[in-house]
Structure 1
Amino acid sequence: MNIALINSEYPQEDGSQGGIASFTYTLATALTDLGCKVHVLIRKGTVPQNLSPAVEVHHFEFRSAKGIKQFVEKKFQNGAVTWEKGHSRHIRQILLTIHKQEKLNVVQIPEYGGLAYSLKPPLPFKIIVRFSMPSKLIDMINGKTTSNKRANFYRFESKAIKNASAFISPTKALQRWLHKHMNIADIRFSVIKSPIDTRDFGDKRSYKSKTLKKILYVGRLEQRKGAGIIARYITDILKIDPKITITFAGEVEKLFISKVKQTIAKNLGYKECSRVLFLGAVNHQEISELYKKSGILIVPSLMDNCPNTLLEGMASGLPIVCSDAEGIKEFINHGSNGLVFPLKNPQLLTTMISHIINNPRLASALGKSALQYISKNHEIMCTGKEFLSLYKSVSN
């Protein structure tokens, strides 16, 4: 098959990438290994990481509308909608060019950003939307007030996904939300787990007490990711043992860093602030090394569809402490491949971290079970075959 995958993420100056990019590049590699011709479309300026050299890369950028449409967009539409429409136009042009040169069967595109807007049927290939986390849902969980412009962007995203022939969700939780709030019929949905290349993460690791005291958080730190829980209990976590360190790898607002340091200084003294490290955004290779050197991964999200951080941590054999948020609990079985604290009792995050640090055998059992789960349910070639099976079904 000839397949095109779109990565909707914007390029980062530091070369880091988020979950959509990681998923796209991993799937592209799997499909290539399965004998498919794969094209990956990325925004101009993006440098893909960990991508098979057999994958053909295309860059898209803003393209202005022509004639009266250009006037209407400038006069009546908000900037975000106009901007993404321009990128969507170029995506359509690139895909049609690819199809002329070599018949294209299927295009998979994220819902995020409404980039499927210009892919209106009829087209000579099928469109599949793979959901990550709609903007409306992200804003709801983060408690953001919806302005008229933002509501207009929600409608734009919602309209764009209607161009698809089929939909994919990595979790049943997100499928239920989409069915309820976006009226997408279950019959058009497939739930397919995200592929994880365990070769990037599955080295031998130490479960000694010294290593377990190195706690890691990976990802953008915001309300929906549990920023409030961490800020509230970070002092209690550090009190468990004077040698505990907590590393944050990902985008963090300066206000949050200041708030955390003030809390630590007030309760434990200013010197203890050095036990909390904020690395900012890190690239794929750096994240892999962090997983290997750390002892516990915390994922205190309020709601998370399918966090790559969680799956990569499990693939690294890390003992996981996470919340019972929708989405996450589809991957973690409490006491088997991780420890789960209820969002109704977030103080148990501290208790569970302490329990793992003081029980290296438990840490080893949880970590090894987590790796086994990933190897069984998210192995790159097995999940790649699931995606390919769906593509063939939709294409036919």
Structure 2
Amino acid sequence: MPLRILHLIDSNGLYGAERMLLDLMQRQQSSGLFPILGSIGKKDESVKELEAIALERGLTVQPIRMRSGLNLAGGINILEIAQKQNIDILHSHGYKTNILLGMLPACFRRIPLVCTLHGWTGTTPISKISLYNWAERQLLKYHDAVIAVSDQQLHDKRLRAAGIDNNKLFKISNGIDLDDEENAQAGKDEVIQSFVKGGKAIVSIGRLSREKSFETLIEAMSVLRNGDADIKLIIIGEGYLRDKLQKQIDSLHLNENIQLVGYRIAAKRYLHLFDALIISSVTEGLPITMLEAMAAGVPVVATAVGGIPEAIKDGITGLLAPPRNPVKLAEAISRVINDMQLAGTIRSQARLMIRKEYDSRVMADKYAELYARIAGRI
């Protein structure tokens, strides 16, 4: 009988963790495992975007609906579904299911529990999301395996401070489907194409939330404009900071240089329209968008946070800048879009690195080895 894995995620869109999970599940299915998407949602919520795309890809989907917030009943509901479906491994992706399942004693759960840390998004010590991240870390010790996606994450002192046994900690880097990258059709979008037409253009992709630090990127665009650089920036994504970011753009008189275009499905299809991808985050795991851009031959300028410096070797596979430093970020952007030789080196070297180290086949094989290792532990 193939190993049955229930992947659990509470998704609000098709972002990095969701794209990584879809690629992983497809690789697992093709290799003879039986992955199931356990998609968490609110009571009476209709089909979620992730569920629809998973079904389109021929994956098995189990919608799981529960009341909002963190509650023990939600974890018990997940466990009952898993037991009815004869699940061999519970694989959690995100703080909500990490907490819900971590609260259940192993003797009660009786199914091995694995989690992947896609990144902590709390940026201030006192905030709701920082509290959830803290609670998650305290419960990770009750998981059977905790997977970090980067060396930086693996050696994070907060994991040791939470009492997690070193024998439960593993590193498995995110990977992307290189076959899909090669065969993907270039996207067409009149709003984006008309705005960037005829000049240098850069793009940033992600939720409009604090950890992405888009305000730093907007400040960097002001620095570039003051240096007479004629560059257009498209920000693809939606979120609670949209109005605040738009006000910043307005106050800096950057409306002719920056446009917030909202959320786009499969945003990677638009990468070919740009001279560079910019990541201005203050915290990250190992961004899928970065890997996709590198595979597509689009130079990446990113802040040196999380696992980013493991993939971006400064001046070779991309350019790095310190976080929350618009001047240094502007300098790096200027370099990559004005130095064609540098950009060419980055394109070729980044593609080589992706093929060697970030193929989803390698990722799926490592997860399969880990599952086999812990399947009989409880």
TM class by shorter chain equals 0.7 to 0.9
Aligned to 1:276: 258
Superposition deviation, residue 322 in structure 1: 1.1
Q: Contact 1:335 / 1:366 at 8 angstroms: preserved in 2?
A: yes
Could you tell me which amino acid in structure 1 is paired with residue 112 of structure 2?
Answer: K
Aligned to 1:61: 65
Could you tell me which amino acid in structure 1 is paired with residue 59 of structure 2?
Answer: V
Aligned to 1:4: 5
Unaligned runs of 5+ in 1: 64-78, 266-271
Please point out which of 139, 145, 157 is paired with 2:126.
145
Aligned to 2:93: 110
* Separation (CA, whole Å) in 2 of partners of 1:241 and 1:59: 52
Does 2:317 align with 1:337? yes
Q: 1:311 to 1:96 in 2, by over 3 A?
A: same
Superposition deviation, residue 297 in structure 1: 0.5
What are the Cα deviations for residues 138-168 of structure 1, in whole angstroms up to 9, with x where unaligned? 32xx225347x974x4564345434311111
Does 2:161 align with 1:161? no
Superposition deviation, residue 368 in structure 1: 2.2
Q: 1:5 to 1:22 in 2, by over 3 A?
A: farther
Please point out which of 246, 251, 260 is paired with 1:262.
251
Superposition deviation, residue 214 in structure 1: 1.3
Superposition deviation, residue 109 in structure 1: 0.7
What are the Cα deviations for residues 301-348 of structure 1, in whole angstroms up to 9, with x where unaligned? 222111222122212211011122232111110111001123485412
Q: Post-superposition, which runs of at least 4 consecutive aligned residues in structure 1 deviate over 6 A?
A: none
Q: Contact 2:140 / 2:164 at 8 angstroms: preserved in 1?
A: no
Aligned to 1:31: 28
Unaligned runs of 5+ in 2: 42-46, 187-196
* Separation (CA, whole Å) in 1 of partners of 2:217 and 2:291: 20
Could you tell me which amino acid in structure 2 is paired with residue 334 of structure 1?
Answer: D
% identity of equivalent residues: 19
Q: 1:345 to 1:155 in 2, by over 3 A?
A: closer
Does 2:293 align with 1:313? yes
Superposition deviation, residue 211 in structure 1: 7.9
Superposition deviation, residue 292 in structure 1: 2.0
Superposition deviation, residue 242 in structure 1: 5.6
* Separation (CA, whole Å) in 2 of partners of 1:17 and 1:157: 23
The 5 A counterparts of 1:175-214 are 175-177=154-156, 178-202=158-182, 213-214=200-201
Q: Give the greater-gyration-radius structure (CA).
A: 1
Q: Contact 2:38 / 2:61 at 8 angstroms: preserved in 1?
A: yes
* Separation (CA, whole Å) in 1 of partners of 2:363 and 2:215: 34
Q: Contact 1:131 / 1:169 at 8 angstroms: preserved in 2?
A: yes
Q: Contact 2:5 / 2:89 at 8 angstroms: preserved in 1?
A: yes
Please point out which of 360, 365, 368 is paired with 1:385.
365
Question: Structure 2 length normalisation: TM-score?
Answer: 0.84
Aligned to 1:171: 150
Secondary structure of the 1:261 match is helix
Please point out which of 189, 195, 212 is paired with 1:225.
212
Give aligned pairs, total.
Answer: 352
Secondary structure of the 1:352 match is helix
* Separation (CA, whole Å) in 1 of partners of 2:316 and 2:177: 22
The 5 A counterparts of 1:216-255 are 216-239=203-226, 243-252=230-239, 253=241, 254-255=243-244
Could you tell me which amino acid in structure 2 is paired with residue 129 of structure 1?
Answer: C
Q: 1:156 to 1:212 in 2, by over 3 A?
A: same
Q: Contact 1:129 / 1:168 at 8 angstroms: preserved in 2?
A: yes
* Separation (CA, whole Å) in 1 of partners of 2:161 and 2:262: 34
* Separation (CA, whole Å) in 1 of partners of 2:318 and 2:341: 13
Aligned to 1:47: 49
* Separation (CA, whole Å) in 2 of partners of 1:273 and 1:350: 18
Superposition deviation, residue 87 in structure 1: 3.1
Q: Contact 2:199 / 2:232 at 8 angstroms: preserved in 1?
A: no
Superposition deviation, residue 294 in structure 1: 1.6
Secondary structure of the 2:69 match is helix
Q: Contact 1:32 / 1:54 at 8 angstroms: preserved in 2?
A: no
